[in-house]
Amino acid sequence: MTTTEVTWEFFEEQIERPPLTPAQVAWRRFRRHKMALVGVGLLIAIFLYVTVGAFFYSEADANRTDLSITLSPPSPDHPLGTDGTGRCILARTIYGGQISVLIGLFAVIVSVTVGVLIGAISGYYGGHIDAILMRFTEAMFNIPQLFLLILLAKFLSGKIPTFKLLGRSFSGSVIVIIGVIGLTSWMYLARIVRANFLSLKEQEFVTAARCIGSRNFSIIFEHILPNSVAPIVVAATLGVASAIINEAYVSFLGLGVQPPTATWGNMLDQAYHHLDSEPWMWFFPGMLILLTVLGINFVGDGLRDALDPRALTQTE
Amino acid sequence: MRGNQVLVKTESLKKHFPITRGIIFQQQVGSVRAVDGVTLHIYRGETLGLVGESGCGKTTAGCTILQLYRPTSGRVIFDGTDLTILKGEPLRDMRRRMQMIFQDPYASLNPRMTIARIISEPLRAHKLTSGKEQVDRVQELLRLVHLNPRFINRYPHEFSGGQRQRIGVARALASNPEFIVCDEPISALDVSIQAQIVNLLEDLQDKFGLTYMFIAHDLSMVRHICDRVAVMYLGKIVELAIKDELYDHPLHPYTQALMSAVPVPDPVVERERKRIILEGDVPSPIDPPPGCRFSTRCPVAREECFHQVPPWRDVGGDHFVACHED
Amino acid sequence: MAPLLEVQDLTTRFYTLDGIVHAVNGISYTVEEGDTLGIVGESGCGKSVSVLSVMGLIPEPPGKIAAGQVLYKGQDLLQLDRKQMERIRGKEIAMVFQDPMTSLNPVLTIGRQISESLIVHLGMGQEEARRRSVELLDMVGIPQAVDRYSDYPHQFSGGMRQRAMIAMALACSPNIFIADEPTTALDVTIQAQIIDLVKTLRDQLGMAVIWITHDLGIIAGLAEKVLVMYAGFFVERGSVDDIYGDPRHPYTLALLKSVPRVDRTSKERLAVISGLPPDLLGLPPGCPFAPRCTYAVEQCRKENPCLEPIGFGHEIACWVDVTTGRER
């Protein structure tokens, strides 16, 4: 009697564990990070603050000056105090927060797009293209960012008109800042993406794709890029924090979004002469920046571990 | 089984990988001569085995034949067309007819794609089907490799090594190829799973008239599945013959040593055997010995073996050897 | 004469996030002086874990030797503390692993690593240890041993590294030499060299050898006694002629039929063992091989059979007689 032979009927293959997509695996691992969950909490809180808060205070409230109550400490009318021209700090942090966060998000969109494109093309094609792009990247790295920021800010300010988004009008300087920050912070990601591509290019599933006859475009976007998602997501997340801080010090130098439009950064700038006397002017925007950046960093850490590609080799 | 028509032919195929040195400008200081003059022909419908130990260049040979590496020199003629002069679109077109099954079932499938997408990739790349027709084809392919079609949207990490290898086979079959290079397809699998995959490959060959090049180092398995076998050493083929002829009457000293080194699961046979134990290690493919590559370890090497490259001789009965000895 | 090594009811488990892995489930065997024992089974059957348990190399956590005794010269190794075990490991019982590159320290010279064993275990001085190390390298067939003493692992080829590992293992002339798949990653001609070397040294030094592998061919040519392992259990035990000439357990039979031979061409298809390898997280009640066994009967799914003799020195753990197809 022989052991069972395989005939043309298929035998029931068991897959022991319930199906988990890579996304579900990542979510499980993320959940285990206590600090990452704290970060998520912080970010949700801040998001609610700047969005829901807008229902309680209008933009006019944020910009209304009242010279009779300048530099007053926190009170029932103005829970976070007022600034040098009697504007309500609470309202200003809400609307300022919208802009700071917006700048953070869009600057990252710019830098990720540029960084990934350059890194992918460089890493995949190699040769001369890689050499040229990498020399360019290194050159950009070596130019002090501040210098570029100041240069571009001075050059572009006043040249871009205001625009409307979601019922709020934003001055052109917001676009300038987004562009400036975005175009000076892509290099780090370009290097990472390039390194990722260099190693993934040699993976057997990429060789398999070439063997099948897939086009280069297909291979880059369907095969390699999805497997590089981890460092990109992490870099993008941390990039938002970095962009918010960048905005803060650009504004601190007086080169950012101009008043009366508030951003957390230019609120710090205005508090410069009142550091000891009216601490509420810098404390609250400063705290908000701190909490936002902390929250983002915690989430970024959690994501970095959750998206570790090695996780997929264990069936969790 | 095997027809008389030659499907794939290589002529003095060479693949050298340059070794460069230099900080700013890279200069070539030498090359790894992975494949150094391989001439063979594969008949339609047959399974040609390519055996050798690590570093002999067999995997590189398989990849070079499929133009995954462009040859340094030599030609590859597939069904009358010279692949080495093709580029771009025409080459991509040819790929539909020749496929590969890879060694590592864990690395050869994209971990972020569902197996439906993995298996249908050849169909999409060559625009062969779409929509419902594509789904049907993928399910059909899964059934062909004895995997339940209901797992169509799962990810590779949910499957075992043997199952993943079958997904790889399904993918290779998707575009209805004529020629499949099997690069050590069972080396990474458990003994009891190896038999499943080998049987599957044989069944598919019968059903679709496929031609295989079976690259492996497991000589016992090669004897089971192949029709003719070529033995490779340091980038060159040293012997080529019909299976039984090669295994029962090996002529080249390396083939003889190789055959005698393979353990047989039979203690009675093992007790009687005389092993030919080779001295030393395989020389480097960067700096191969002049003359016969095997001369440094050959138990019967003569003076001329060290200086002259041995001729490729036809000793009758479709049996070829590269050796100075008669 | 008392056996050199006596393993009784060894049970090893791993406590993981996914559950308890029952890697080794109550195995027993003895090794006499000069024996050559082969433990054969596929990956995941527990053969490596079983010898790592004997050597005290199971990390605890997540592992735990849940039950059993390992009597070496009458002394239970499982009861020894770390220091006592270290005196035995390397000196009396030595082990060689599959991948020499990860077992060797890449930043120390090969010679130094061999000497270390001699200095620590035999109390040799530096100079004496050096001389003996060179002798050992020579004994395992490494040419120009004197020069190669000061080479680093990455300067050796795979086969050479494995020889160096063997030299290290044999440095103190152990009584038992355990080899866990040492040739799996090596080419077949190099493998033949290594096996030949081990056989020669075994005869010269009179030590007992336990060789673990999934390769049925190697065991046939090397071992005298064979143990077939599946899902952490021994399913068949016997002399090498018994196992290959008269296999009685369905798993052994299936394994032998699914492996092709280099010395003959068969026109038949390779026999296939249907189903999947056992899940050590949740073994079914009854015989672990029952789900895949063509001879399985009702009893097989209810109760796990123990090893019972069917001939002189030949034991199987099975409810069925494969020659008749009926229950025993």
Q: Which residues of A touch C254 (CB under 8 A)?
A: 3
Q: Which residues of B touch A12 (CB under 8 A)?
A: 148
pLDDT of A5 higher than 60: no
User: Do residue C35 and residue C149 come from a single domain?
Assistant: yes
Separation between Cα atoms, residue B32 and residue B17, nearest integer Å? 5
Phi-psi region of A86 (alpha: psi -120 to 50; beta: other; left: phi over 0): left
pLDDT digits (tens, 9 = 90+) for C155-208: 888 888 899 999 989 888 899 999 999 998 888 888 988 999 999 989 988 899
pLDDT of C70 higher than 90: yes
CA distance B87 to chain C (A): 37
Q: Is residue B278 part of a domain?
A: yes
Q: Confidence class of residue A258 from pLDDT cuts 50, 70 and 90? A: confident
Q: Is residue B24 part of a domain?
A: no
Q: Which residues of B touch A228 (CB under 8 A)?
A: none
Residue C44: per-residue pLDDT = 84
B231 - beta bridge partners?
A: B51, B239
Residue A6: per-residue pLDDT = 39
Q: Is residue C275 part of a domain?
A: yes
Residue A20: per-residue pLDDT = 67
Q: Is residue B154 part of a domain?
A: yes
Please provide the distance, in angstroms rounded to a whole number, between the alpha carbons at the two ends of chain B. Answer: 33
Domain boundaries, chain A: 22-64+82-309
For an interface test with A, the pick among B101, B121, B145 (most A C-beta atoms closer than 10 Å) comes out as: B121
Separation between Cα atoms, residue C311 and residue B58, nearest integer Å? 47
Instruction: Tell which of C223, C250, C266 closes a domain.
Output: C223
B242 - beta bridge partners?
A: B228
Domain count, chain B: 1
SS3 B205: helix
Q: Is residue B274 part of a domain?
A: yes
In this structure, what CATH number is given to the domain that contains residue C73?
A: 3.40.50.300
Match 């061919």 to its residue by tokens.
C217
Q: Is residue B27 part of a domain?
A: no
pLDDT of A160 higher than 60: yes
CB burial of B32-49 (b: ≥16 within 10 Å; e: otherwise) equals bbbbbbbbbebbbbbbbb
Q: Omega into C61 within 30° of 0, i.e. cis?
A: yes
User: Do residue C258 and residue C313 come from a single domain?
Assistant: yes
Separation between Cα atoms, residue A108 and residue A183, nearest integer Å? 9
Over range A256-276, report the average pLDDT: 82
User: Do residue C51 and residue C200 come from a single domain?
Assistant: yes
B16 - beta bridge partners?
A: B33
User: Do residue C57 and residue C202 come from a single domain?
Assistant: yes
State which residues form the domain around B211.
6-19+33-322
pTM of the model: 0.83
Q: Confidence class of residue C225 from pLDDT cuts 50, 70 and 90? A: very high
User: Of C17, C274, C276, which is closest to A4 when you measure between CB atoms?
Assistant: C274
SS3 B33: strand
Residue A313: per-residue pLDDT = 45
User: Do residue C175 and residue C97 come from a single domain?
Assistant: yes
pLDDT tens digits for chain B (326 residues)?
A: 466 789 999 999 999 998 877 766 667 778 889 999 999 999 999 999 999 988 889 999 999 999 999 999 999 999 999 999 998 899 999 999 999 999 999 899 998 899 999 999 999 999 888 889 999 999 999 999 989 888 888 889 888 888 999 999 999 999 999 999 999 999 888 888 898 899 999 999 999 999 999 999 899 999 999 999 999 999 999 999 999 999 999 999 999 999 999 999 999 999 988 888 887 777 888 888 888 889 888 888 888 888 888 888 888 888 999 988 76
Partner A contacted by B66 (CB < 8 A): yes
Residue A19: per-residue pLDDT = 62
pLDDT of A156 higher than 60: yes
- Supply the mean pLDDT for chain C: 89
pLDDT digits (tens, 9 = 90+) for C83-106: 888 888 888 999 998 887 788 888
DSSP 8-state code for residue B82:
E
Q: Is residue B26 part of a domain?
A: no
User: Do residue C106 and residue C166 come from a single domain?
Assistant: yes
3-state secondary structure chain A: CCCCCCCCCCCCCCCCCCCCCHHHHHHHHHHCCHHHHHHHHHHHHHHHHHHHHHHHCCHHHHHCCCHHHCCCCCCCCCCCCECCCCCEHHHHHHHHHHHHHHHHHHHHHHHHHHHHHHHHHHHHHCHHHHHHHHHHHHHHHHCCHHHHHHHHHHHHCCCCCCEEECCEEECHHHHHHHHHHHHHCCHHHHHHHHHHHHHHCCCHHHHHHHHHCCCHHHHHHHHHHHHCHHHHHHHHHHHHHHHHHHHHHHHHCCCCCCCCCCCHHHHHHHCHHHCCCCCHHHHHHHHHHHHHHHHHHHHHHHHHHHCCHHHHHCCC
User: Do residue C33 and residue C136 come from a single domain?
Assistant: yes
User: Do residue C11 and residue C104 come from a single domain?
Assistant: yes
User: Do residue C303 and residue C178 come from a single domain?
Assistant: no
Question: Angle at the Cα of B25 (from B19 to B29), degrees rounded to 5?
Answer: 25
Nearest CA in chain B to A17: B158
Nearest CA in chain C to A316: C18
Domain count, chain C: 2
CA distance A251 to chain C (A): 50
Find the chain C residues whose C-beta atoms sit closer than 8 A to any C-beta of B.
Answer: 42-43, 143, 157, 159-160, 187-193, 195-196, 214-221, 240-241, 244-245, 254-256, 258-263, 265-266, 269-273, 276-277
Over range C27-40, report the average pLDDT: 93
In this structure, what CATH number is given to the domain that contains residue B227?
A: 3.40.50.300
Q: Do A313 and B107 touch (CB under 8 A)?
A: no
pLDDT of A50 higher than 90: no
Residue A12: per-residue pLDDT = 45
Q: Which residues of A touch B103 (CB under 8 A)?
A: 204
For an interface test with C, the pick among A1, A2, A3 (most C C-beta atoms closer than 10 Å) comes out as: A3
pLDDT of A315 higher than 50: no
Q: Is residue C164 part of a domain?
A: yes
Separation between Cα atoms, residue C213 and residue C190, nearest integer Å? 16
User: Do residue C209 and residue C84 come from a single domain?
Assistant: yes
Over range A130-147, report the average pLDDT: 87
Nearest CA in chain A to C251: A3
Q: Rounded to whole angstroms, what are the CA distances from A226 to A220, A221, B152, B227?
A: 9, 7, 20, 42
User: Do residue C101 and residue C177 come from a single domain?
Assistant: yes
Q: Which CATH architecture has domain A22-64+82-309?
A: Orthogonal Bundle (1.10)
State which residues form the domain around C258.
241-327
ipTM of the complex: 0.87
Over range A75-82, report the average pLDDT: 81
SS3 B38: strand
Q: What percent of chain C has pLDDT over 70?
A: 99
Q: Is residue C228 part of a domain?
A: no
User: Do residue C167 and residue C277 come from a single domain?
Assistant: no
User: Of C18, C258, C294, which is closest to A1 when you measure between CB atoms?
Assistant: C294
Separation between Cα atoms, residue A49 and residue C119, nearest integer Å? 69
